[in-house]
Protein backbone atom coordinates (compact mmCIF):
# COMPACT_ATOMS: atom_id res chain seq x y z
CA UNK A 1 0.00 0.00 0.00
CA UNK A 2 2.90 2.32 0.73
CA UNK A 3 4.30 1.69 -2.76
CA UNK A 4 0.99 2.78 -4.31
CA UNK A 5 0.98 5.94 -2.21
CA UNK A 6 4.53 6.81 -3.28
CA UNK A 7 3.65 6.12 -6.93
CA UNK A 8 0.63 8.39 -6.77
CA UNK A 9 2.63 11.05 -4.93
CA UNK A 10 5.18 11.09 -7.76
CA UNK A 11 2.37 11.35 -10.32
CA UNK A 12 0.85 14.24 -8.35
CA UNK A 13 4.22 16.02 -8.17
CA UNK A 14 4.67 15.71 -11.94
CA UNK A 15 1.14 17.01 -12.48
CA UNK A 16 1.90 19.88 -10.09
CA UNK A 17 5.05 20.84 -12.00
CA UNK A 18 3.09 21.07 -15.24
CA UNK A 19 0.11 22.75 -13.61
CA UNK A 20 1.89 25.32 -11.48
CA UNK A 21 4.17 26.23 -14.39
CA UNK A 22 1.25 27.80 -16.24
CA UNK A 23 1.05 25.33 -19.14
CA UNK A 24 -2.72 25.13 -18.82
CA UNK A 25 -5.05 27.02 -16.52
CA UNK A 26 -7.30 24.02 -15.94
CA UNK A 27 -4.40 21.78 -14.99
CA UNK A 28 -3.48 24.09 -12.10
CA UNK A 29 -6.63 23.27 -10.18
CA UNK A 30 -6.41 19.61 -11.18
CA UNK A 31 -2.80 19.43 -10.00
CA UNK A 32 -3.61 21.11 -6.70
CA UNK A 33 -6.49 18.73 -6.01
CA UNK A 34 -4.47 15.70 -7.09
CA UNK A 35 -1.47 16.80 -5.05
CA UNK A 36 -3.60 17.32 -1.94
CA UNK A 37 -5.40 14.00 -2.28
CA UNK A 38 -2.22 12.02 -2.80
CA UNK A 39 -0.37 13.77 0.03
CA UNK A 40 -3.21 12.72 2.32
CA UNK A 41 -3.13 9.15 0.94
CA UNK A 42 0.64 9.04 1.37
CA UNK A 43 0.44 10.21 4.97
CA UNK A 44 -2.28 7.67 5.78
CA UNK A 45 -0.25 4.87 4.20
CA UNK A 46 2.90 5.96 6.07
CA UNK A 47 1.10 6.02 9.41
CA UNK A 48 -0.51 2.62 8.79
CA UNK A 49 2.86 1.19 7.78
CA UNK A 50 4.55 2.68 10.85
CA UNK A 51 2.00 1.17 13.22
CA UNK A 52 1.83 -2.13 11.38
CA UNK A 53 5.57 -2.70 11.25
CA UNK A 54 7.08 -5.96 10.11
CA UNK A 55 5.62 -9.28 11.07
CA UNK A 56 8.02 -11.61 12.88
CA UNK A 57 9.51 -14.42 10.76
CA UNK A 58 7.88 -17.79 11.15
| pLDDT, tens digit, 9 for 90 and up, residues 39-56 | 998 899 888 888 886 666
Q: 42 lies in a domain?
A: yes
Greater confidence, 37 or 58?
37
Model confidence pLDDT, tens digit, residues 5-14: 888 888 888 8
In a domain, 18, yes or no: yes
The predicted pLDDT at position 40 comes to 92
**Dihedral class, residue 22 (left if φ above 0, else alpha if ψ from -120 to 50, else beta):** left
Kindly state whether residue 57 falls inside one of the protein's structural domains: no
**Has residue 17 been placed in a domain?**
yes
Q: Residue 58 domain-assigned?
A: no
Q: What is the share, in percent, of the chain residues with pLDDT greater than 70?
A: 74
Domain containing residue 21: 2-50
For residue 55, is it within any domain? no
In a domain, 34, yes or no: yes
CA distance 47 to 14: 24
Average pLDDT score over residue span 7-33: 76
Domain count, the chain: 1
Domain membership of residue 37 (yes or no) is yes
Amino acid sequence: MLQWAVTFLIIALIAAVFGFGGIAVVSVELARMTFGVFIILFLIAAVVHAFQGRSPPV
